[in-house]
Homo-oligomer: A and B are copies of this chain.
């Protein structure tokens, strides 16, 4: 099967072809770019939902129950579970995933795990490309799930139309930290495991921070104000409220033209990434690699600084 045949099979939603397409993207196959180019005209219909939070917050459970809910509404749901395999936390996510066979057996749901295998560089890019494949294959909902341990991981969910941040009562300390970066990415918060002690207080704390953060923002009737939803993921409690809030947020984005803005920004980011990649490929030809070897030797012997070496390499280029 050649790439244009593969693209056709993906567009009719053939599952093994979808899997193969995502594998091409994941392995950075030279054919991936051509596949994505062929599929692009069919993208733009899926709604992308990012789900993040600290390890152990129950993101997988919520993602899976949410997928079930959409699947029961007869929607096709793609899940991309990103596992950054931090050497200190790695593996847990994929471990959980294996047990969720009930979701995997659902004909409307397609789960794909993506691990970074040592390098996070490019994981955010690959996740977005995999989402494009689901999109072109006619999936209406795409769930992007990732543990929020570092900034690069958060980049992944910022590729979503709606971003949900999952916390637990125990992440009380995190609320302090929320001021740092979560406010910028969260469209709303979920306090999961809310049957545990301290849940009410945690909700109050989040609301306080949210209040402080949005108080000085310019408000109109259209302004989206993040809220908190309490859930008990294991028992399926509150999942419908999450779905409702996602719909509400989507409606707000559409009404205010922000959905188009978001997608425009995503396209811009994508083009810039691809330009960087291409400039890099074009620049580092054999003769420049040879020049580089010589420059390294000069720098190592302190005859030249790396800064002068770069000037020399880039001279007369572009």
Which one of A99-107, A224-232, A233-241, A270-278 contacts B? A270-278
Q: Is A88 an interface residue (CB 8 A)?
A: yes
Q: Is A150 an interface residue (CB 8 A)?
A: yes
Query: Could you say which residues of chain B place their CB within 8 Å of the CB of A271?
Result: 292, 295-296, 299, 306, 309-310, 313
- On whether A120 and B150 interact (CB within 8 A), knowing A177-B91, A275-B283, A292-B268, the answer reads yes
Residue in chain B with minimal CB distance to A149: B149
Please measure, in the bound complex, the distance between the C-alpha atom of A283 and the C-alpha atom of B280, giving whole angstroms: 12
B310:A84 contact, CB within 8 angstroms:
no
Please measure, in the bound complex, the distance between the C-alpha atom of A292 and the C-alpha atom of B40, giving whole angstroms: 18
Q: Is A153 an interface residue (CB 8 A)?
A: yes
- Report the count of interface residues on A (CB-CB < 8 A): 70
B267:A302 contact, CB within 8 angstroms:
no
Q: Is A178 an interface residue (CB 8 A)?
A: yes
A300:B264 contact, CB within 8 angstroms:
yes
Please measure, in the bound complex, the distance between the C-alpha atom of A278 and the C-alpha atom of B312, giving whole angstroms: 12
Q: CB within 8 A of A306: which of B270, B279, B305?
A: B270
Please measure, in the bound complex, the distance between the C-alpha atom of A148 and the C-alpha atom of B84, giving whole angstroms: 12
Q: Is A181 an interface residue (CB 8 A)?
A: yes
The residues in A between 273 and 318 inclusive whose CB is less than 8 angstroms from any CB of B are 274-276, 278-280, 282-283, 292, 295-296, 299-300, 302, 305-310, 313-314, 317-318
Please measure, in the bound complex, the distance between the C-alpha atom of A131 and the C-alpha atom of B89, giving whole angstroms: 28
Q: Is A23 an interface residue (CB 8 A)?
A: no
Please measure, in the bound complex, the distance between the C-alpha atom of A226 and the C-alpha atom of B120, giving whole angstroms: 25
B267:A41 contact, CB within 8 angstroms:
no
Question: Which are the 3 A-B pairs with shortest beta-carbon distances?
Answer: A150-B150, A87-B181, A40-B305
- Beyond contacts A264-B300, A271-B313, A274-B306: 8 other A-B pairs, Cβ-Cβ < 8 A, are A40-B305, A84-B150, A87-B148, A87-B154, A89-B149, A90-B180, A91-B176, A264-B296
Chain A interface residues (CB < 8 Å from chain B) = 33, 36-37, 40-41, 44, 53-54, 84-91, 116, 118-121, 148-154, 171, 174, 176-178, 180-182, 184-185, 260, 263-264, 267-268, 270-272, 274-276, 278-280, 282-283, 292, 295-296, 299-300, 302, 305-310, 313-314, 317-318
A-B contact pairs, 26 of them (CB 8 A): A36-B305, A36-B307, A37-B307, A40-B302, A40-B307, A41-B305, A54-B89, A84-B151, A86-B177, A87-B181, A87-B185, A89-B149, A91-B177, A120-B150, A150-B150, A150-B151, A151-B152, A260-B300, A264-B296, A271-B292, A271-B306, A271-B310, A274-B307, A279-B283, A282-B314, A317-B318
